Amino acid sequence: MAKFLSSFAFKKCKHPNYEYIYQINASSLFPDINLLGKQVTVAGLSIKRCLDCGTFHWTEGNEELKPIVQEQIMSFLKASDDFLDQSLIFGDFKKANLQVIEPPTSFKKVLAEEAVFTISSTNINLVDVILPHNTEQGIKQIFASIKYQHIVNDEWGFNKVDPVGTGTVILFYGPSGTGKTRSAGAIANELDMPMISVSLKDLESRFMGQTPKNIAKAFEEANKQNAVLFFDEADTVLGKRLSSVTTGVDNEINMERSTLLKELEAFSGICIFATNFQENIDTAFQRRINYHVSFELPDPITRKRLLSYFLIDSIPLLETKEHITDQIVEETSEFSGGDIVQALRQGFIIALMENPTTPKVSLAHFIEGIANLKKIKQAIAQRMTQTIFNIKNKQ
């Protein structure tokens, strides 16, 4: 059986140039371990390799994982008769959640955690999206740009002098619930195109180097399906690149953002980003975005239009629609469109709980729903304030 040493044979050097390694042979990690002729590859672990002398270094935060990784290799070798001559050890090392996969050709299928994107469609049109006037005008300009870009690029020949970035990149920014996702779906529907919605959870992988590949795959899939590509809650992928890279995680973040920039440059389709915080976006992304559209909380006129749209005639109202609408407009000055719809739904349920047989939805039911939602929003705001206060006190 193999003899294991307690020391780790990583040398130290002071050279400034290095690269990150995310898939490494175990013999490089632990040169003093007898691998019994096995080719063991460790994946999902960030290691630095010096570009000047070739030595390997544990990255910051990963040195504590050395005994965990070594123990997993020992376990593999003890059971070596049960495995092929080439095997792969991978996983979430910080949780010691590792597995042995054989043969290595299964790496891409089992280990890679390639993202799977859902293609969707909607029957919502632009007339079904109720927005403040300035936002609506911005959406209409974008739609016209997409609709007529073939005239500008092909018939007028503008793509000959500006051949890079023939796609349309759009940023929707503003508070949650203000219609960003609904607007993206309406644009796709009006153009008779499917939509691929991508969130951070769809892209993120626990394995180093896989998330940038998932970003590239999203663009590849959008091209293949001729679909609108919609990045929801895109704050993370559009964030500022890190100037001081000290860990593998830092390097991974920069790789993700560099990959996104590269894909945007080559993309000829329609890509829409939605974010709550425009100020956090890297200037390189700002330059690549063709259209910035601000989504704001609805003003009284917009709130009235929203209520007129959602309070359809089939709802059994106790009072007149006009009376209910006027009162709700007064009570929802700090509400988003999504908040208003949620308050309406609460009012419906309250009315049904009172009289499920012959319900009548009254203004009082809606006011109760609005009050419930205000309490929830206030509690969330207080928790956020307390969290910020605690963070500041720790600094």
Residue 164 sits in the same domain as residue 289:
yes
CB 206 within 8 A of CB 92: yes
- Average pLDDT over every residue of 126-139: 92
Q: How far apart are CA 65 and CA 172, in angstroms?
A: 41
2 belongs to a structural domain? no
Residue 165 sits in the same domain as residue 275:
yes
Among 79, 111, 143, identify where a domain stops. 111
142 belongs to a structural domain? yes
DSSP-based three-state secondary structure for 265 = helix
Residue 184 sits in the same domain as residue 251:
yes
Domain at 384, CATH number: 1.10.8.60
Residue 178 sits in the same domain as residue 269:
yes
- Give the tokens for residue 250: 């830092």
Residue 314 sits in the same domain as residue 289:
no
105-115 per-position pLDDT tens digit: 333 333 344 55
367 vs 124, residue with greater confidence: 367
Q: Does residue 181 surpass a pLDDT of 70?
A: yes
Query: Which range of residues forms the domain containing residue 377?
Result: 300-394
Q: Give the burial class of 312: count Cβ atoms within 10 A of its Cβ; 0-12 exposed, 13-18 middle, 19 or more buried.
A: exposed
123 belongs to a structural domain? yes
Segment among 166-175, 191-200, 209-218, 249-258 with least mean pLDDT: 249-258
Residue 182 sits in the same domain as residue 259:
yes
212 belongs to a structural domain? yes
CB 188 within 8 A of CB 129: no
- Give the tokens for residue 307: 């209520």
Among 231, 260, 294, identify where a domain stops. 294
Q: Would you tell me how many other CB atoms lie within 10 Å of the CB of residue 289? A: 16
Residue 129 sits in the same domain as residue 202:
yes
Domain at 218, CATH number: 3.40.50.300
Phi, psi of 229 (to 5 degrees): -100, 120
Among 83, 111, 139, identify where a domain stops. 111
> Parallel, antiparallel, or unpaired for β 228-231 and 195-198?
parallel
Q: Does residue 382 surpass a pLDDT of 90?
A: no
Q: What percent of the chain has pLDDT over 90?
A: 30
Is the link from the previous residue into 31 a cis peptide, with omega within 30 of 0?
no
6 belongs to a structural domain? no
Distance of CA 86 to the CA centre of its chain: 35
Q: How far apart are CA 255 and CA 242, in angstroms?
A: 10
Residue 198 sits in the same domain as residue 270:
yes
87 vs 12, residue with greater confidence: 12
- Give the tokens for residue 302: 């917009």
- Residue 285 has what pLDDT? 80
Residue 79 sits in the same domain as residue 148:
no
Residue 169 sits in the same domain as residue 210:
yes
- Give the tokens for residue 55: 């030595």
Residue 209 sits in the same domain as residue 338:
no
Residue 258 sits in the same domain as residue 379:
no
CB 284 within 8 A of CB 240: no
1 belongs to a structural domain? no
- The number of domains in the chain is 3
Q: Would you tell me how many other CB atoms lie within 10 Å of the CB of residue 14? A: 7
Q: Which of the residue ranges 215-229, 244-258, 312-326, 375-389 has the most confident prediction, judged by mean pLDDT?
A: 312-326
CB 336 within 8 A of CB 297: yes
pTM, whole model, 2 decimals?
0.66
CB 177 within 8 A of CB 340: no
CA gyration radius, the chain: 27
- Average pLDDT over every residue of 71-96: 52
